[in-house]
């Protein structure tokens, strides 16, 4: 099936009732017809509605197994359970701030060692490798600086030392990028974002191809219990049906807004992988089918940034991303407040930087809203 058809049908056909919309199985427990009979037992372990969603997400990422978690952070936590005290991981140095907070405040205390590297520089990645390096965790594009990593080359480097490659694919969604087909071992999503797509459900996903990895993940998944509820699973299934359509409009709007922002006198920099001048443009084109709906831009002063944030009317000043409504975010105080000021400044996450999650509204309306905010 083509991707857009998978979005609608890969969760499976109607059940025995003929229901086109798959039922929400709200039961916490299931009766057994006889001793030893196969089937469902307890929703923390498995649930028919969640199974439908997991099959759908696995199909979209071209994986063999997927795990639906209660949030994107829970999904990251689930993947980190594959590692042990004494292991070393290389991390991209421009990750979502919540991920950094988890690695620093939780997993470093458990004895896992981390080294942050700009993974667009593969020589820097090689230089960071240690005898105990067991994994490389990245985003591409990164949040919020939109840096691009060559997934094929990175995967080869990692696999040569027996390390796993974990890719947070939230920004592009499986519609535009499928890291498992580029050499990655594990794909993570905050399903709250583009996959759910409507700002109405929190969810996270881990997807793999390798059966051994899947078995390890399933053990921690059912044991810890950070699984997605049946109702939320149904909401995500419903959201995914329009994923392909939404991603095309997100991208159409993002390209137009990036080009418009370049012409604005108070904008000093536009960070969007779909601009030919972006340093990662060619690599991104080689490993994706598009550029997505996320961009960041820098303005001339902190005062301008504040004026734009408070001046938008159609676009909402809010944290998060990936939904039908456009959201403007201030990374330095919203997504990355835990960074040390000097680290934030070094990465370009300053009080002049804004991140825009471009929604599916009419392009001209979005441009008009930004224009009036700049000119207030």
CB of 72 closer than 8 Å to CB of 83: no
Q: Is 64 exposed, middle or buried (0-12, 13-18, 19+ CB in 10 A)?
A: middle
Q: What's the CATH fold of domain 243-375?
A: 3.90.1150
Q: Is the peptide bond before 141 cis (omega within 30 degrees of 0)?
A: yes
Instruction: 220-224: list long-range contacts, CB under 8 Å, 24+ apart.
Output: 220/78, 220/81, 221/67, 221/69, 221/78, 222/44, 222/45, 222/46, 224/78, 224/81
| 3-class state of residue 126 by DSSP | helix
Nearest to 190 by CA among 160, 169, 209: 169
Per-residue pLDDT of the chain (376 residues; tens, 9 = 90+): 999 999 999 999 998 899 999 999 999 999 998 998 889 999 999 999 999 999 999 999 999 999 999 999 999 999 999 999 999 999 999 999 999 999 999 999 999 999 999 999 999 999 999 999 999 999 999 999 999 999 999 999 999 999 999 999 999 999 999 999 999 999 999 999 999 999 999 999 999 999 999 999 999 999 999 999 999 999 999 999 999 999 999 999 999 999 999 999 999 999 999 999 999 999 999 999 999 999 999 999 999 999 999 999 999 999 999 999 999 999 999 989 888 888 888 888 999 999 999 999 999 999 999 999 999 8
Q: What's the token pair of residue 63? A: 């994986």
Q: Which residues are catalytic?
A: 44, 96, 168, 193
What's the rounded Cα separation, in Å, for the pair 76 and 190? 9
Nearest to 143 by CA among 240, 271, 246, 260: 271
Longest dimension (CA), the chain: 73
According to the model, what pLDDT value does residue 226 have?
A: 97
According to the model, what pLDDT value does residue 342 have?
A: 84
List the beta bridge partners of residue 33. none
Q: What's the token pair of residue 37? A: 């009979």
| 3-class state of residue 310 by DSSP | helix
Helix axis angle for 243-262 and 363-375, nearest 10°, is: 40
Q: Where are the beta strands (DSSP E) in the chain?
A: 65-69, 88-92, 113-117, 133-139, 164-168, 186-190, 204-208, 267-271, 294-299, 316-317, 327-329, 353-357
**Residues 281, 6, 38: CA angle, nearest 5 degrees:** 125
3-class secondary structure per residue, 189-224: EECCCCCCCCCCCCCEEEEECCHHHHHHHHHHHHHH
Q: Is 111 exposed, middle or buried (0-12, 13-18, 19+ CB in 10 A)?
A: exposed
CB of 292 closer than 8 Å to CB of 197: no
Q: Is the peptide bond before 144 cis (omega within 30 degrees of 0)?
A: yes
DSSP H helical segments within 198-315, as ranges?
Answer: 211-224, 230-240, 243-262, 281-287, 302-311
Nearest to 191 by CA among 88, 95, 74, 359: 74
Q: What's the CATH fold of domain 17-240?
A: 3.40.640
What's the rounded Cα separation, in Å, for the pair 321 and 184? 24
What's the rounded Cα separation, in Å, for the pair 121 and 149? 8
pTM score of the predicted model: 0.96
What's the rounded Cα separation, in Å, for the pair 324 and 359? 5
Q: Phi/psi zone of residue 79: left (φ > 0), alpha (ψ -120 to 50 degrees), beta?
A: alpha
Q: Phi/psi zone of residue 150: left (φ > 0), alpha (ψ -120 to 50 degrees), beta?
A: beta
Q: Which residues have CB under 8 Å from 47's CB, separation 6+? A: 25, 40, 227, 230, 233
Domain residue spans of the chain: 17-240, 243-375
């Amino acid at each position: 099936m083509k991707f857009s058809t998978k979005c609608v049908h890969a969760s499976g056909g109607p059940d025995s009732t003929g229901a086109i919309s798959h039922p929400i199985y709200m039961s916490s427990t299931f009766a057994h017809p006889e001793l030893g009979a196969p089937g469902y037992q307890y929703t923390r372990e498995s649930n028919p509605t969640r199974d439908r969603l997991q099959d759908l997400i696995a199909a979209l990422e071209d994986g063999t197994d997927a795990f639906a978690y209660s949030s994107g952070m829970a999904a990251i936590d689930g993947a980190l359970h594959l590692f042990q005290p004494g292991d070393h991981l290389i991390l991209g140095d421009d990750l979502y701030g919540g991920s950094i907070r988890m690695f620093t405040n939780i997993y470093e205390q458990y004895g896992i060692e981390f080294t942050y590297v700009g993974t667009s520089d593969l020589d820097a990645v090689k230089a960071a490798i240690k005898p105990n390096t067991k994994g490389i965790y990245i985003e591409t594009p990164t949040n919020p600086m939109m840096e691009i990593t060559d997934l094929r080359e990175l995967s080869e480097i990692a696999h040569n030392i027996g390390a796993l490659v974990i890719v947070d694919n939230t920004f592009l969604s499986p519609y535009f990028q499928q890291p498992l087909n580029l050499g990655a071992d594990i794909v993570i999503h905050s399903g709250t974002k583009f996959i759910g797509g409507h700002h109405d459900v929190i969810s996270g996903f881990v997807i793999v191809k390798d059966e051994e990895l899947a078995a390890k993940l399933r053990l921690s998944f059912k044991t810890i219990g950070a699984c997605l509820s049946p109702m939320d699973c149904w909401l995500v299934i419903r959201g995914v049906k329009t994923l392909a359509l939404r991603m095309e409009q997100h991208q159409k709007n993002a390209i137009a807004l990036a080009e418009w922002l370049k012409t604005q006198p108070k904008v000093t920099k536009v960070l969007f992988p779909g601009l030919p001048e972006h340093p990662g443009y060619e690599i991104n084109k080689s490993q994706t089918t598009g550029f997505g709906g996320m961009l960041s831009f820098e303005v001339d002063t902190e005062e301008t940034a504040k004026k734009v944030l408070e001046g938008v009317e159609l676009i909402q000043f809010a944290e998060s991303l990936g939904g039908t409504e456009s959201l403007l975010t201030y990374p330095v105080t919203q997504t990355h407040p835990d960074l040390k000021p000097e680290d934030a400044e070094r990465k370009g996450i300053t009080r002049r930087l804004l991140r825009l999650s471009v929604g599916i509204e009419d392009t001209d309306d979005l441009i008009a809203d930004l224009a009036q905010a700049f000119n207030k």
